[in-house]
């Protein structure tokens, strides 16, 4: 794995967050697994000004081992999730408008559409509010992500996990689109929910979805 290509890929992914309408300003952060540690975007650097040399490498204890800047304030969230989920290769955390609005109500995203299954279950759970940048946030996020690939964070934003960085970024995009649809449906009223059986079938179909 070329470390500078990984850093360049992280910068490109970070710039995709505002480009896709997934975050504003310097909020949000992106990382990839690196052995027992990770490589993550820096704290508070505008995406347009970010370069590969700004990306930060940390070890399993969160200590900076490469880079001249401080890692994202959410490094504990990312590192905790990598430790809890050994199959995950990349994480995207952002504050998309609709997903965050829904998270501010503290409610899960239920099975209003079969595409909710793209998150790995029959709902997108909402983790309870915990201050940003804390180990407690990593813990409640890991609980909400049990057998899931995405979750909301109450009064905060959303998290998407992926085997790869493009996969995690695309999943976050899907979650935001679903949140926009659900918020719109709530405004219309009387949202019809799919049954557990319907969602079990959708989940089974997703196992063979795409080109493998």
Catalytic residues: 74
**Per-residue burial over 1-25, b = 16 or more CB atoms within 10 Å of its CB, e = otherwise:** eeeeebbebbbbbbebbbebebbee
**Edge-to-edge, what's the strand order for the sheet holding 64-66?**
64-66, 56-58, 37-40, 29-34, 90-94, 157-162, 150-153, 126-127
State CA 197 to chain mean position distance.
Answer: 27
List residues bridging with 42 in a β-sheet: 71
Tell me 129's DSSP state.
Answer: P
> Can you tell me the distance from the alpha carbon of 200 to that of 121, in angstroms, rounded to the nearest whole number?
8
> Can you tell me the distance from the alpha carbon of 212 to that of 114, in angstroms, rounded to the nearest whole number?
20
* Cβ pair 60, 75 in contact under 8 A: no
- Helix H or strand E segment including 137: helix 135-144
What does the angle CA 123 – CA 174 – CA 39 come to, to the nearest 5 degrees? 100
């Amino acid at each position: 794995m070329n470390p500078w290509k990984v850093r360049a890929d992280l910068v490109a992914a970070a710039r995709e967050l505002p480009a896709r309408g997934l975050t504003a300003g310097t909020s949000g952060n992106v990382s990839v697994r690196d052995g027992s540690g990770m490589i993550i975007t820096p704290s508070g650097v505008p995406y347009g000004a970010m370069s590969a040399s700004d990306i930060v490498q940390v070890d399993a204890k969160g200590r900076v081992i490469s880079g001249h800047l401080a890692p994202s304030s959410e490094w504990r969230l990312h590192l905790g999730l990598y430790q809890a989920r050994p199959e995950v290769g990349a994480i995207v955390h952002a504050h998309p408008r609709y997903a965050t609005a829904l998270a501010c109500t503290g409610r899960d995203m239920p099975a209003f559409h079969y595409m909710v299954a793209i998150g790995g279950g029959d709902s997108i759970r909402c983790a309870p509010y915990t201050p940003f940048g804390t180990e407690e946030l990593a813990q409640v996020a890991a609980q909400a992500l049990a057998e899931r690939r995405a979750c909301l964070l109450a009064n905060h934003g959303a998290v998407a996990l992926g085997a790869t960085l493009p996969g995690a970024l695309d999943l976050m995009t899907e979650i935001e689109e679903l949140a926009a649809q659900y918020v719109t449906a709530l405004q219309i009223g009387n949202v019809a929910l799919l049954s557990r059986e319907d969602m079990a079938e959708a989940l089974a179909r997703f196992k063979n979805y795409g080109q493998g």
